């Protein structure tokens, strides 16, 4: 299969690199990474060790069988416009946050846009080098839920490459459940400058639980079957499993780069979600002060 990965940063390089063990993969990323991958391949380190030789470019190729979207959520709109000019029948988002698939679908008439969630951990170590910080799983399926021929075909491609995955018929609930975890963990850890494990006990745990409960309430308002108990249990499970991790939002704040607050807590913020509104307002205040929200 010809697979193009749009956004070869941490996650895109890892998943693209794993797929390159079996498929013709093209990584689309920034110049320094692209040049190094072209010159000496992509080195995967950590929980998976491999050196692979995908193609690498700074712009999309003319065609592919499958596109993975792994840009940050604030770049989804731009990615969607670029993908509209690429002849690719199936597009799978592995991003965090809500509405990425809807944004892609709005620009990609006649294509199949699949929803995905990913619990692999990835960190770009430098040009040509990515760390697998945790072997997780990709869940993928129809963005509206139910069966999908394109999802089955994509699942078989992941299977052949040895990428842990599940083809799921309940992607809307899974995307919302991942949102509950990210809403509970990311902003709280970024603002308090603590690793995920600091949310195991009060008062951090109370903030994380309250944010996740609001996500479950909002999900049910949109017809998604996500209970507050399930959302809270997911937060606790992820906090335990990733206790020493620094969340992606904390890493963004430490690096001084824009966060995904708009697609996570910001998506829930409102009068019925005061905890998410407060978390979103504080992170946006920091982004404004750093001049990160202008582009
Ligand atoms: N890193 C991880 O372990 C995980 C990340 N995610 C999600 O995956 C998404 C990506 O996250 P990361 O890989 O961590 O972010 P990242 O910032 O490392 O990677 C995104 C990359 O896309 C590149 N990019 C954006 N627009 C581009 C364009 N027009 N042309 C070429 N390259 C372009 C950026 O330069 C950057 O290198 C986010 O939504 C994140 O929440 C989900 C699960 C795990
Ligand atoms: C699951 C979690 C919270 C792990 O750190 C994550 O997805 C993130 O940091 O963005």
Q: Which of 9, 92, 119, 258 to mutate to test the pocket of ligand 1 (most atoms within 8 A of CB)?
A: 9
Residue 295 predicted with pLDDT over 80: no
Reported as a single tens digit per residue, the pLDDT across 154-203 is 999 999 999 999 999 999 999 999 999 999 999 999 999 999 999 999 99
Instruction: Tell me how far apart the alpha carbons of residues 97 and 103 are, in angstroms, rounded to a whole number.
Output: 12
Q: Is 288 exposed, middle or buried (0-12, 13-18, 19+ CB in 10 A)?
A: exposed
Residue 6 predicted with pLDDT over 90: yes
262 C-beta closer than 6 A to ligand 1: no
Count the neighbouring beta carbons within 10 Å of the beta carbon of residue 136.
Answer: 17
The CA–CA distances, whole Å, from 193 to 148, 173, 184, 204 equal 41, 30, 14, 11
- Going by alpha carbons, the residue nearest to atom 37 of ligand 1 is 9
Q: Which residue(s) pair with 50 in the sheet?
A: 44
Instruction: Tell me how far apart the alpha carbons of residues 199 and 259 are, in angstroms, rounded to a whole number.
Output: 20
Reported as a single tens digit per residue, the pLDDT across 107-165 is 999 999 999 999 998 999 999 999 998 899 999 999 999 999 999 999 999 999 999 99
13 C-beta closer than 6 A to ligand 2: no
Residue 72 appears among annotated catalytic residues: no
Nearest-ligand number for the alpha carbon of 240: 2
Angle between helical axes of 274-289 and 248-255 (0-180°, round to 10): 20
Nearest-ligand number for the alpha carbon of 190: 2
* Atom nearest to 248 CA in ligand 2: 9
pLDDT band at 85 (very low <50, low <70, confident <90, very high): very high
pLDDT at 182: 97
Angle between helical axes of 171-192 and 274-289 (0-180°, round to 10): 60
Residue 294 predicted with pLDDT over 80: no
The single residue of 33, 107, 111, 178 carrying the catalytic annotation is 178
Instruction: Tell me how far apart the alpha carbons of residues 127 and 9 are, in angstroms, rounded to a whole number.
Output: 10
The CA–CA distances, whole Å, from 126 to 47, 60, 134, 177, 200 equal 17, 22, 18, 31, 32
Reported as a single tens digit per residue, the pLDDT across 217-265 is 999 999 999 999 999 999 999 999 999 889 999 999 999 999 999 999 9
Instruction: Tell me how far apart the alpha carbons of residues 93 and 70 are, in angstroms, rounded to a whole number.
Output: 7
Q: Are 68 and 42 in contact (CB under 8 A)?
A: no
What size, in residues, is the chain? Answer: 295
What does the DSSP 8-state code read for residue 187?
Answer: H
Q: Which of 247, 260, 279 to mutate to test the pocket of ligand 2 (most atoms within 8 A of CB)?
A: 247
Residue 285 predicted with pLDDT over 80: yes
Element (H, E) at 217: helix 204-221
76 C-beta closer than 6 A to ligand 2: no
Query: How far does CA 151 lie from the centroid of its chain?
Result: 18
Instruction: Tell me how far apart the alpha carbons of residues 54 and 180 are, in angstroms, rounded to a whole number.
Output: 34
CA 186 to centroid of ligand 1, rounded, Å = 16
Reported as a single tens digit per residue, the pLDDT across 10-37 is 999 999 999 999 999 999 999 999 999 9
Instruction: Tell me how far apart the alpha carbons of residues 84 and 198 are, in angstroms, rounded to a whole number.
Output: 43
Q: Are 135 and 48 in contact (CB under 8 A)?
A: yes
pLDDT at 107: 98
CA 185 to centroid of ligand 2, rounded, Å = 7
pLDDT at 139: 98
Q: Which of 14, 121, 177, 185 to mutate to test the pocket of ligand 2 (most atoms within 8 A of CB)?
A: 185
Q: Report percent pLDDT > 90 for the chain.
A: 95
């Amino acid at each position: 299969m010809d697979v193009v990965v749009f956004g070869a940063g941490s996650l895109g390089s890892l998943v693209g690199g794993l797929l390159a063990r079996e498929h013709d993969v093209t990584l689309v990323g920034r110049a320094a990474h692209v040049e190094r991958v072209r010159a000496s391949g992509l080195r995967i380190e950590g929980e998976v060790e491999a050196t692979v030789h995908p193609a690498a470019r700074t712009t999309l190729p003319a065609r592919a069988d499958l596109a993975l979207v792994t840009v940050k959520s604030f770049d989804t709109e731009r990615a969607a416009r670029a993908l509209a000019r690429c002849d690719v029948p199936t597009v799978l988002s592995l991003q965090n946050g809500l509405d990425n698939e809807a944004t892609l679908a709005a620009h990609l008439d006649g294509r199949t846009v699949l929803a995905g969630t990913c619990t692999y951990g990835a960190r770009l170590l430098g040009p040509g080098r990515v760390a697998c910080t945790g072997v997780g799983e990709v869940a993928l399926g129809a963005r509206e839920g139910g069966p999908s021929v394109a999802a089955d075909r994509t699942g078989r491609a992941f299977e052949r490459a040895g990428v842990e995955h599940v083809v799921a018929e309940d992607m809307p609930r899974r995307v919302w459940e991942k949102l509950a975890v990210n809403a509970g963990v990311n902003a709280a850890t970024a603002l308090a400058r603590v690793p995920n494990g600091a949310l195991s006990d009060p008062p951090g745990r109370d903030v994380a639980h309250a944010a996740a409960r609001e996500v479950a309430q909002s999900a049910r308002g949109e017809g998604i079957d996500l209970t507050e108990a399930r959302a809270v249990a997911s937060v606790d499970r992820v906090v335990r499993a990733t206790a020493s991790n620094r969340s992606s939002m904390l890493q963004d704040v430490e690096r001084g780069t824009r966060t995904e607050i708009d697609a996570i807590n910001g998506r829930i913020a409102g009068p019925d979600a005061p905890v998410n509104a407060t978390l979103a307002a504080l992170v946006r205040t920091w982004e404004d002060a750093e001049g990160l929200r202008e582009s």
